[in-house]
Structure 1
Amino acid sequence: MPVEAWRRPFAAVGRYAAHREPRAAIANTVALVVASNQPFYPLYVGWLVSPVIWPSFLTFLSTPLFVAVPFAMRRDSRLGRSLLLFAGIGNTLLCRLAFGAGSGVEVFLLPCLMLAMLLFAGRERVLALGFGALCFAAYAVPVAAVMAPLHFYRIEDYAALERLNFLSAASLTGLIGWLFARASPDLPPQEETETGRRA
């Protein structure tokens, strides 16, 4: 297959993720990276944890939300950034309920918390604090009292799942930090994030 045929899809994704606001562009990139990795999560669970992978299919419920982030961002930057955080926090909470507290899946709240603090600036800081509080609230949900896990794994399986989730969340956190470090010249600390503008 010609190289040009491979470049076209990536170019289309790049155009879809592009935005003139640096924070919005970073949020778009993170959303599409998460969406593109979600189909592989059940494979990682099957390879590294257990052949029982069907509880991980719940992660697909949030995939359309992540994919829709750049579309929402073009309508309203604040809406798009908020959608990314709702999708991330909601997906983490859903997986926490599905797998149980022993899975360590709540570690994905850390990149959500990091995004909350970095995606909103100036007068939008109240949103940063609100989403930060939502991360802590999601962690505080007593999952064992709400519902039993969809499947009870062995102790060693939970340990492997916890390692998998830690490595995945750490990689995502590192990516977020790298993207913001690259964009730092365009992100002065007191920048007033524009809202309501179309890209």
Structure 2
Amino acid sequence: MLRFWREPMAALRAYTAHPDPLVASANFLALLVASNQPFYPLYLYWIVSETVWPAYYTFLSTPFFLAVPALARRNTMAGRALLPLTGIGNGIMCAQLFGVQSGVEIFLIPCAVLALLLFRPHERWLGYLLAGMAFAAYLVLGDWYGSPAVVYTAEEYAAFIRLNAVSAAALTVCAALVFSNVLAQTEKSAAELARRREPG
């Protein structure tokens, strides 16, 4: 059984690997989100309602999440930008499908956080731009969505909000852990370099 998974896992690690730790982090998080998308309709079914068909539209964003490592090999900044940009687009689409009453717009928060974490100081203008897009989508678009594809009961909306809040919080925590590891590796490398430069 382990042999069966060994080659696919090796291929997956090779696909997400990158010498730039920020790019590698974006690759990992993009594939993490993509791998969890097929479970979202199941979560809705178990926690919210049997009416889950609008959730299948979220699969339209899956190829874009999966494409992050491939694009990053051609252009690292574009690859990193694709992750929050796809998340923002997916959040807007879900808000249109489920309505703002579902609390699905809360996923725009980790998108903004990622936008601010994925870029170095000289690239920060792009991070600010993407984070601004996430906040603008939350603050401006709510009145433009119109009627959602499905209307749920008050109890179902309460469960929906809990599901989305927990999911968005988990994604934010995961991103924080990933980037704390990047920081730790950077500090370790700097300490090793300083030791090598010490005389004697």
CA shift digits 1:132-155 (9 cap, x unpaired): 110111102343443210000001
Check whether the contact 2:99–2:145 (CA below 8 A) recurs between aligned residues.
Answer: no
- Tell me how large the CA RMSD over aligned residues is: 1.2
Q: Normalising by the residue count of structure 1, what TM-score does the alignment of the two structures yield?
A: 0.90
After superposition, give the CA deviation of every residue in 1:97-145 in whole Å (9 maximum; x if it has no partner): 1110111111111111111111011211111110111011110234344
Q: Show structure 2 runs of 5+ residues with no match.
A: 188-200
- 146 and 106 in structure 1: CA distance in 2 versus 1, 3 angstrom threshold: closer
- Taking CA–CA contacts closer than 8 Å with sequence separation of 6 or more, which of the two structures ends up with the larger relative contact order? 1
The two structures have a TM-score, normalised by structure 2, of: 0.90
Q: CA deviation at 1:3?
A: 1.2
Structure 1 residue 74, shift from structure 2 partner: 0.4
Distance between the aligned counterparts of 1:145 and 1:35, measured in 2? 28
- Relative to structure 1, the CA distance from residue 154 to residue 144 in structure 2 (aligned partners, 3 Å threshold; closer, same or farther) is farther
For residue 67 of structure 2, give the secondary structure of its aligned residue in structure 1: helix
Secondary structure at the counterpart of residue 82 of structure 1:
helix
Question: What corresponds to 2:58 in structure 1?
Answer: 59
How many pairs does the alignment contain? 187
Q: Which residue of structure 1 aligns with residue 190 of structure 2?
A: none
Which letter does structure 1 place at the counterpart of 2:3?
E
State the identity as a percent. Answer: 48
2:191: which partner in 1? none
Letter in 2 for 1:111: P
Q: What's the CA shift string for 1:30-84, capped at 9, x where partnerless? A: 0000000000000000010000000111110100000000000000100101111
Which structure has greater helix proportion?
A: 2
Unaligned segments of structure 1, at least 5 residues = 189-199
